[in-house]
Amino acid sequence: MRGTFRSLPLLVLLAFALPASPAAAAEGGSAACLVPYEIGHTQPLGELRLEKGPYKITVLNTSDDLTCADAHDEFRRILREPGADLPDGWELDAASRTIQRENGRDQFRVEADDTEAVAASEDGGSFWGSLEGFALTWLPIIFMGLIAVAVVWMVQYMPRTKPQEIAPDSSSSVRWEDVAGCEEAKEELREVVEFMRDPKRFKKLGAKVPKGILLHGPPGTGKTLLAKAVANESNAKFFAQSASSFVEMFAGLGAARIRRLFRHARKEAPAIVFIDELDAVGATRGNDVSGEKDQTLNQLLVELDGFGGADNVVVIAASNLLEKLDPALLRPGRFDRQILVTPPDLKGRRSILTVHTRGKPLAADVDMEAVARQTSGMTGADLANICNEAAIFAGRDHREQVMTKDFQAALERVVAGMQSRRMITDHEKRVVAYHEAGHALCSEMLESVEKVHRISIIPRGKALGYTLNLPEEDRYLKTKEELLDYMVVLLGGRVTEHIIFGEITTGASDDLRKVHEISRSMVTEYGMGTELMSKQLPTDDYSMSDYTRRQVDEEQQYLTDLAHRRALKMVNENRPLLDTLAHTLLENEVLERDDIERIVGDYLGGGGDGSNGKPASPVVPVAEPGAPRVAASERLEGQAGGDSPS
């Protein structure tokens, strides 16, 4: 079979060559060419008028070595001459329709042929001319047909997102007792649940269910979890869909999906529609280049304000960026209630830890109250991650219970990152130890700053070491003196490097960034400068004069210099405590809160000069000129309370 396909081109060539062979081989007489010649249009030739159609060519004198192919070529050249005249050297006998040269050679006769033409073309009747005509006629039609088929295929196989329906008995269902740390939001949503369960009780009083409820707040605070709890407790149909699924590259597709979602919800009323990450489609209009997002948002606005209370359809949306949402989306009648979901307080964190440790075997020494105090400022997602990491640490050690050290390791993993295996030189290790000891010294000497719970010079993540400050209680306001003290703590590491080693490294880059942010906010946002105290000065206010900008810079420089001087004085006055902290840290690599309290207590109990019965730690000399100068750690501050001004 394969050999047959390979021989097809040869057979085709032989088929074209065979008609000419008899005429070429004939000797004397005449030979009729088997392949006719077709004229594409009426054409005069001398006294003859050749009509359109096929013509048979007969070679009359084969002794002149004139073949059929030669006769075809000569006849083609004669027809291409302009007008009815023959080319020079040729003559026509109209009566016999014979064409020959003037010397009588190369005679052939042209007669009309009634048989069907095999190969025809306007330029001479060849096979390739016929193929060209077919291509010019049909190829554009075939091409347009292929495009139509491709478009239909693309529309059929285009991703179609359907709203996810969550049933009360599904694996995605959540109960009220599974949600903790956001009691205020739960109380607001319980009213919606009661309305969906017993609407007649509220309608008798003329009350209407809120059309829309917007949950907003930082990421990880439990907004989606609250929506799932509402779905389970209300016994209503619940449809969840992400706002990003409404946005497509095809114009009008997002609006069509919103119409389909709400049409489906109305059919299943009473129903709840949950739209997650609303800011993906609800951002302020006018900033979209293509206009697709604006069209999708317009359709959402119409659907929110287009159905009445009788439909029993409630829309719940979640967003982390309330300030970017379109004002028309936030007005009453669309989203009647806006519920802020904040990070939990101490009681809320304890409840969240209880929920996420449910089903985990805990050792008797695990104190959830202590863990809750150490995780101030963390969200529910962070706490769930800590509980899961603690269980992983216990499983890694092949233990059957989760212990306190597992929670400590998990907290360190979440806050500071994964432990690194990077090897640092002795000089780098000494720089990092003194850097972190400087932070710890300033924290212990200042009453308004959160106390140090752990110091480590073990590399974790991008940092070569870190100092973890954790508050004893939840606080939401800070005074000017507290912010200044916090800047003193941040600059304590850099000041210590300069005092001990005579040089500074790049290890304080993160501390300097925080000092800049705090001092700038004190002047421009909080009015805590010495002269600029009665107004805010936004950094993006281009109407601010150059003089005011210079005042802002001078006020900021004054605050940072004041903090630097205080840190320098504090480290110099407590040099023995600094050396003790640094040497103990070099020996143990990690200092816990109990170790820090013992060292500070011994120092203060002995009068602050090392006269408590123990010799003062030796002072490390300034590094010699040939010693390596490598960056110390970029310090990682703890999450809780003291990382940024509130």
Average pLDDT value for residue range 484-490? 95
Tell me if 428 sits within 8 A of 420, measured CB to CB: no
- Same domain (yes/no): 32, 55: yes
pLDDT at site 627: 38
Q: Which residue has the tokens 């209407």?
A: 208
- Same domain (yes/no): 383, 256: no
- Give the domain CATH number at 531: 1.20.58.760
Query: φ, ψ for residue 272 (rounded to 5)?
Result: -125, 130
pLDDT at site 523: 93
pLDDT at site 122: 42
Q: What is the pLDDT of residues 299-321, one digit of tens each?
A: 888 888 755 444 678 888 999 88
pLDDT at site 172: 57
- Same domain (yes/no): 541, 456: yes
Average pLDDT value for residue range 354-380? 88
For residue 269, being part of any structural domain is answered with yes
* H or E stretch at 102: none
Angle at which helix 426-445 crosses helix 593-605, to 10 degrees, equals 70
Q: Averaging pLDDT over each range in 22-26, 109-113, 224-228, which range is the top one?
A: 224-228
* Residue that terminates a domain, selected from 295, 318, 340: 340
- 13 pLDDT more than 90: no
- 289 pLDDT more than 80: no
For residue 441, being part of any structural domain is answered with yes
- Same domain (yes/no): 304, 450: no
Average pLDDT value for residue range 461-478? 80
- Same domain (yes/no): 208, 328: yes
Tell me if 130 sits within 8 A of 121, measured CB to CB: yes
Contacts for 452-456 with beta carbons within 8 Å, 24 or more apart? 452/593, 452/596, 453/374, 453/592, 453/593, 453/638, 454/412, 454/590, 454/591, 454/592, 454/593, 455/581, 455/585, 455/590, 455/591, 455/596, 456/412, 456/416, 456/589, 456/590, 456/591
For residue 209, being part of any structural domain is answered with yes
Q: What is the pLDDT of residues 567-579, one digit of tens each?
A: 999 999 999 999 9
* Residue that terminates a domain, selected from 365, 392, 416: 416
Identify any residues that bridge with 53 across adjacent strands, giving them in sequence order.
39
* H or E stretch at 11: helix 2-17
For residue 642, being part of any structural domain is answered with no
- 643 pLDDT more than 70: no
For residue 116, being part of any structural domain is answered with yes
For residue 579, being part of any structural domain is answered with yes
- Same domain (yes/no): 326, 350: no
Q: What is the pLDDT of residues 35-57, one digit of tens each?
A: 677 777 777 877 777 877 788 88
Distance CA 390, CA 361 (A): 11
Q: How far is CA 360 from CA 110, 372, 492, in A?
A: 104, 17, 41
* Residue that terminates a domain, selected from 291, 306, 340: 340
pLDDT at site 501: 92
Rounded to the nearest integer, the mean pLDDT of the chain is: 78
For residue 585, being part of any structural domain is answered with yes
- Same domain (yes/no): 351, 336: no
Torsion of CA 580, 583, 587, 589, to 10 degrees: 90
Identify the weakest region by mean pLDDT among 168-182, 188-202, 312-326, 500-514. 168-182
Q: Which domain holds residue 366?
A: 346-416
Residues with a catalytic annotation lie at: 436
Give the E-state strand segments of 409-451 in sequence order. none
Distance CA 336, CA 641 (A): 33
- 468 pLDDT more than 50: yes
* H or E stretch at 82: none
Average pLDDT value for residue range 183-197? 84
Tell me if 166 sits within 8 A of 231, measured CB to CB: yes
- Same domain (yes/no): 183, 322: yes
- Same domain (yes/no): 288, 380: no
For residue 177, being part of any structural domain is answered with yes
Identify the weakest region by mean pLDDT among 203-207, 352-356, 486-490, 511-515. 203-207
* pLDDT category of residue 239 using cuts at 50, 70 and 90: confident
How many domains is the chain partitioned into structurally? 4
Q: What is the pLDDT of residues 240-265, one digit of tens each?
A: 887 777 776 555 577 788 888 888 88
- Same domain (yes/no): 386, 521: no
Q: What is the pLDDT of residues 100-155, one digit of tens each?
A: 887 777 787 888 776 544 444 444 445 665 677 778 788 889 989 999 888 888 76
What percent of the chain is modeled with pLDDT above 90? 23
- If one compares 99 and 226, the residue with the highest pLDDT of the two is 226
Q: What is the pLDDT of residues 203-212, one digit of tens each?
A: 888 887 778 8
Before 344, cis peptide (omega within 30)?
Answer: no
pLDDT at site 46: 76
Q: What is the pLDDT of residues 422-462, one digit of tens each?
A: 778 889 999 999 999 999 999 999 988 888 888 988 888 77
- Give the domain CATH number at 273: 3.40.50.300
- 555 pLDDT more than 90: yes
Alpha-helix residue ranges (DSSP H) falling in 448-534: 480-501, 509-524
Q: What is the pTM of this model?
A: 0.63
CB hemisphere CA count around 542 (13 angstroms): 0
Average pLDDT value for residue range 152-160? 66
- Same domain (yes/no): 390, 506: no
- Same domain (yes/no): 300, 177: yes
Average pLDDT value for residue range 178-188? 86
- 404 pLDDT more than 80: yes
User: What DSSP string runs through 557-584?
Assistant: HHHHHHHHHHHHHHHHHTHHHHHHHHHH
Average pLDDT value for residue range 164-172? 50
- 328 pLDDT more than 50: yes
Distance CA 603, CA 582 (A): 14
Coil, helix or strand for 216?
strand
Query: φ, ψ for residue 303 (rounded to 5)?
Result: -65, -35
Q: Which residue has the tokens 């703590």?
A: 489
